[in-house]
Structure 1
Amino acid sequence: MMTRAWSISRRQWVFYLVGAVNWLSAVVYSQAPPTAYLRTPSANQLEWHALEYYAFIHFGPNTFTNEEWGTSQSTPDVFAPTALDTDQWAKSFADAGMAGMILTAKHHDGMALWDTNTTTYKISNGKWAKDRVSQGLNADVVQMAAASAKKYGIKFGIYLSPWDIHRDPAMSKTNLTGTIYDEPQIFGDNTPGDYNEFYAQQLTELVTMKLSDGSPIQVSELWLDGNSGSATVQTFNWTDFRNIIHEYQPGAIMWGHQGVDARWVGNEDGVTVATNWHTISRTQDEPHYSGDQLETGVRDGAYWTPAEADARLRDGWFYHANEKSKTADTLMTMYMQSVGRSVNLLLDVPPDTTGQIVEGDVDILLQFGSQRDAFLSRTILNPGLPVNASSVRGEDFALYGPANVLDGNKDTYWAVNDNETTSTLEVDLDGTYTVDAFITQEHIALGQRVGGYAIDAVVNGTYQTLATGTSLGYKRIDRLSASVETNRIRLRITQANATPLVNSFQVLGARSGSV
C-alpha cells in the first residue's frame, strides 16, 4: 500500500513538473499580440484599399456640348445618347480587371442624371428621357448604372458635385431665362436659401435609391469633389453629409479633398511620389493641404485618410472626339506609380455621345489588363519554401513566423518583439531564378509603421541591394530596371516607428533557363 501510494504521488509530481515547465516556457517565450499603432483603418477602408483599381465615368450634358464644366447651361434636351448601354460599361470594366465604377450623378453643371425631386434641371425633363419612358424603358441613368454594376459583379460609386453652377448666382445662365429651369440661386453663404439642405436632399435620394427590381442600391464610394470655378463662397456642412452616408450606406467610403475616409492624391495624373503615408492631420473643415502635401501625407497623422489617384484615359474628363487615349504601356507606368505606391487608381473612361465606351478605349483597357496580369502573375514564392527571420515575436512561429508572409492570408503576418524596430527575412528560392520585381505589404490593420526597407539578392555569391524604399503601407511594388539571377532573397526593415508587421512578401520572375 505504501509503495502504491508513493507511486501515485510520483506520477502526480511528474505531471506537475511537466506542467510547470510548460508554464515557465510560456512565460519566457509567449508574447501578447501587437497592439494597434496610432491610427488604423476602419473595416470599410481596409476593403477599399483592396479594390486598388476602378473606373471613373464622366457622363452628362457636357458629353454633348463638348464642355468640361457645363457653363453653357443648356436645357436637358441636350442630353441625347443614341444607344445608351450601361451594361457595356460594366462588362468592359469587369473584363479589364477593374473593381468598380464611379458615375457623375451630378457634375458641376448641376444637371441630375436621376429623377430627383430637388430640381427641374434633370435629364428626366428632356426629350430623350421622355421618349424612353413612353416606350416603357428606364431613363434613370444612375439607377441603370447601379444595376449594371451589380449584374457584372463590380462596385458602384457616385460622384455628386458640391459646386453647382446651376444654383450659383455668379454664373451666367442666359439660355435658361424664362424657362422652368430658371430656378432660385441658393448656392453661397449670402444667398436666400440653404444650399446645404438642398445638397443633403440630393445625397439622401441617391443613397436611398432602389433598383428597378426593388432591391436597395449599394454604394461603395461617394465622391464629393471640392473643385470650384466661382468666387462664390459656400461653406459646406461636411458633418451632415457624412452622417447621411453613414446612416444609409454604412459600407461606403466618403471621398473628399482631405477626407473624410479617403483623400485626393494631390494631382490628376494618376501618380504619387515615392513616399506616401495613409494618414493626414486635417479634416474637410480645416484649411486645405497643398497638392504636394496630399501626395506625401503626414506620417503618424491624426486621421487614417488614404489617397486615391484620379486620372484620365483621354485628355479631358468628358468625351471629346478630337482627343487621343493613353496607351496600355502608359497605363502600366501609371499603375506602378499609384497602386505600386500604396495608392488606389481611379481611371476616368468616358462614354461618347452614343452612351457607350468607345471600342478603341475598351481595347486599351483590355490590353493594359492583360499586361498587368501577365506581370503580376509571375510569382515565385510559394508556401513551404525555406524562410528564416532575424527574430520571431515570442518565438511563436505559428502566429508570427516568417512563413506567414507566403501563405496568401491577409490576416496573418510576420512580427518581431516590441523592442525591435528593424528586422530581416530571408527566403531560399530552392533553385536559381531570374527576378525583376518585388511586392511587399504591411499589415495595415494595425497601423502604418515602416519608414524604411531594402530588398537584397544573392548575386554571384554575395548579397547585393536591389531596391530601397521609405513608406510601405498597403502595397509596395518595386520593379527593377534590369533583371538579376539569384537563388536567395532578403527583405530588410531598416526603420519603423513601432515593431514592424509584414503581411506579404512576393518576388516576380521565372526559373532560370525556363522558356
Structure 2
Amino acid sequence: MKTKKLGYLLMTVITLSAGITLAPESVSAQVPKGTQLPLEQLQQQFVDLGFGMFIHYNIPTYMEDDWADPDADPAIFNPKKLNTDQWAQAAKSANMTYGCLTTKHHSGFAIWDTKTTPYNVMNSPLKRDVVKEYVNSFRKAGLKVMLYYSILDTHHKLRPGQITPEHIKMVKAQLTELLTNYGDVSALIIDGWDAPWSRISYDDVPFEEIYNLIKSIQPNCLVMDLNAAKYPSETLFYTDIKSYEQGAGQHISKENNKLPALACLPLQANWFWKSSFPSTAVKTPESMVNDNAVPYNQIYCNFILNVAPNRDGLIDENALLALKEIGKLYKPQASLPKFPKAQPPVISSNIAKRAAANSSWSYDMSIMDFATDDNFGTNWYSHPSVKSPWFEVDLGKEKAFNTVVITMAKANAITYELEYYANNKWYPLVQAKNTERMITQRFDRKWGEKLRIKFLQFRNTPSIAEFGVFNERK
C-alpha cells in the first residue's frame, strides 16, 4: 500500500479510535482481583520471577535487518507453521517463568487485531492475532505474560520533529487495546523512548500521561523503559524497574545494585531471526546461566533471554536444544534476596532541564550550565577555594514543584540546605544530612521562580551532574 494512502487511513482510524469509550466493565475486568498492590511488592514479585523469555517476532523477522523497512509490505508476514504453544513449552523447558512478546517494533507493524491502523497482522496473509495466541499459550503453560511496545514508529512517522497530537492519541489507543483485550499483563516493556538513537523525549510523548493511563487500566502492571540505563543507577527515573540492555553496553553492577532490575541479552547474534541462525552456534547455556541468570538473581535482577522464532513461526532446533540445556543448569529458587526499600520512580517532566543556572565560583571548564544540560556525564564543579558553595536553577517564571532530585558526581555533601525563591524572597525548603550520591526530596507543592542548594558541610569539592525539579501528580 502506498505511504500516502496509509497515512490517510491512519489519520482516519486514529480519529475514530480517539473517540472510542470503553465500557466500564471491559476496563474493570482487567484489574486484578483484590486491592491494588504496593509498587514495592510488585517490584519484588518481578525480581522473584528470576528468568524469562524475550520473544522478538514481528515484520523484521522477514528481513535481514533488525530495523525493518517502515514501508515493508504486510504480505511478507506469512508464517506457515506459527505455533505459540511451542514457544511456551520451550520457555518451560528452560525453567523460565514468563514471556514478553514484541507487539510492535520500531517500524510500526502491529501483530494484534488493532483498530488504530491498517498496518497490522490482520492485513497480512496470516490474518491471525499473534498477541492473543501468545498470551493464551503462555497462560495455559502456567507462565506470566508481559508485552513489549515501541514508542518510536517509523511507519507512522512518529519520530523526532514530526510528533503530533494524533500520534499521542494513537499510542494511548494502542496501549489501551493491549491492556484491555488480553487479560492481566504483569509488565509492559517500552522501547524507543529517550534513547540516543530515537531522540523522542519524555516531553515529546508525555511519560507521566502514558504511565498513568497504563496504571488506570491495569494498576498492577509494571511499566519498564528499556532506555532507563541513561539515568543514574541509584534512582528509578521513568521506569518501575531499572533495565540493562547488555548488547548495548549497559551492565548492572554486581557489587552495588540496590534497585529492582532487568538485564536482557539475545541467545543469538541479533534480536530478530536471521537466515544464518539455524546453522550458527548460539551463546552457551553455561554462560547464560552461570554468568547471567544466577548471579543477577542474587542482586535483585531478573534476566530475560531473547529467543527469536523463524519465518515459519517456530523456534529453531538449535535454540530449542540450548533452552533444554539451560533448564538443566538453572533451577528457580524458592526465595531470592529482597531489595532495599527504594524511592518511588520519578515519572514527571524535569522543569529544570536546560534551564538557566547560577552558582558560586566554579572551574571555567565545569560551569553551572553542565548541571541542567540533561547529560549525567557532565558536571558543575565548585572551585576548591569556595568555603560556602551554592548552586541555583532559574525556572524563568513562577512554577509549581514538589520534588527535587540532585545527582552529584560523588557523594561529597554531608549536610545541605534547599531554598526556593518567590515574591522577591528566599524561603527555606529543607535542611538535611546526606551520605549518598543522590539527593531526593519530596515535599508539599510550592510555587517559585528559583531553587537553590547550599552545601553546609562536605567531604570534597561539591559537584552536580544534574539538578532536577519536578511537579509530580499526587
Which of 36, 50, 53 does residue 52 from structure 1 map onto?
Answer: 50
* Contact 2:271 2:308 survives alignment (8 Å): yes
Q: % of aligned pairs identical?
A: 27
Confirm or deny that 1:204 pairs with 2:176.
yes
Q: Which residue of 1 aligns with 2:145?
A: 156
TM-score by length of 2: 0.57
Deviation of 1:443 after TM superposition, in Å, equals 4.2
Q: Tell me the distance in 1 between the aligned counterparts of 2:221 and 2:164.
A: 32
Larger radius of gyration between Structure 1 and Structure 2: 1
Counterparts in 2 of 1:270 and 1:372: CA distance versus 1, 3 Å: farther
Report the AA paired with residue 257 of structure 2. Answer: W
Which of 239, 254, 257 does residue 277 from structure 1 map onto?
Answer: 257
Report the AA paired with residue 198 of structure 1. Answer: M
* Contact 1:90 1:148 survives alignment (8 Å): yes
Q: Tell me the distance in 1 between the aligned counterparts of 2:39 and 2:339.
A: 7
Q: Which residue of 1 aligns with 2:276?
A: 322
Task: Kindly report which structure 2 residues correspond to 1:407-422, keeping only aligned pairs within 5 A, or say none.
Answer: none
* Contact 2:56 2:102 survives alignment (8 Å): yes
Q: Tell me the distance in 1 between the aligned counterparts of 2:319 and 2:107.
A: 25
* Contact 1:156 1:220 survives alignment (8 Å): yes
Q: Tell me the distance in 2 between the aligned counterparts of 1:43 and 1:92.
A: 29
Q: Pairwise CA RMSD of aligned residues? A: 2.7
Confirm or deny that 1:331 pairs with 2:288.
yes
Q: Tell me the distance in 1 between the aligned counterparts of 2:166 and 2:42.
A: 31
Question: CA deviation digits over 1:361-400, x for unaligned, max 9?
Answer: 1110110110223xx88xxxxxxxxxxxxxxxxxxxxxxx
Question: CA deviation digits over 1:193-249, x for unaligned, max 9?
Answer: 432221011000100014xxxxxx111110111347456777121112212221222
Q: Which residue of 2 aligns with 1:116?
A: 114
Counterparts in 2 of 1:447 and 1:62: CA distance versus 1, 3 Å: closer
Confirm or deny that 1:364 pairs with 2:322.
yes
Deviation of 1:442 after TM superposition, in Å, equals 4.5
Which of 289, 300, 303 does residue 342 from structure 1 map onto?
Answer: 300
Which of 244, 253, 263 does residue 222 from structure 2 map onto?
Answer: 253
Q: Which residue of 2 aligns with 1:240?
A: 209
Counterparts in 2 of 1:270 and 1:355: CA distance versus 1, 3 Å: farther
Q: Which residue of 2 aligns with 1:42?
A: 40
Q: Tell me the distance in 1 between the aligned counterparts of 2:217 and 2:263.
A: 26
Q: Unaligned regions of 5+ residues in structure 2, if any?
A: 1-37, 229-237, 344-434, 437-474
Question: CA deviation digits over 1:133-169, x for unaligned, max 9?
Answer: xxxxxx000011011111000011111100001122x
Deviation of 1:447 after TM superposition, in Å, equals 6.0
Q: Tell me the distance in 2 between the aligned counterparts of 1:41 and 1:127.
A: 42
Structure 1 residue matching 2:185: 3-state secondary structure: coil
Q: Tell me the distance in 1 between the aligned counterparts of 2:306 and 2:272.
A: 9
* Contact 1:272 1:337 survives alignment (8 Å): no
Counterparts in 2 of 1:166 and 1:229: CA distance versus 1, 3 Å: farther
Task: Kindly report which structure 2 residues correspond to 1:393-408, keeping only aligned pairs within 5 A, or say none.
Answer: none
Task: Kindly report which structure 2 residues correspond to 1:114-513, keeping only aligned pairs within 5 A, or say none.
Answer: 114-129=112-127, 139-168=128-157, 187-188=159-160, 190-210=162-182, 217-225=183-191, 226=193, 227=195, 229=197, 235-256=204-225, 257-258=227-228, 259-265=238-244, 267-268=246-247, 272-279=252-259, 306-323=260-277, 324=280, 325-332=282-289, 333-373=291-331, 442-444=337-339
Structure 2 residue matching 1:310: 3-state secondary structure: strand
Structure 2 residue matching 1:311: 3-state secondary structure: strand
Structure 2 residue matching 1:344: 3-state secondary structure: strand
TM-score by length of 1: 0.52
Q: Tell me the distance in 2 between the aligned counterparts of 1:444 and 1:338.
A: 12
Q: Tell me the distance in 1 between the aligned counterparts of 2:320 and 2:196.
A: 31
Structure 2 residue matching 1:103: 3-state secondary structure: strand
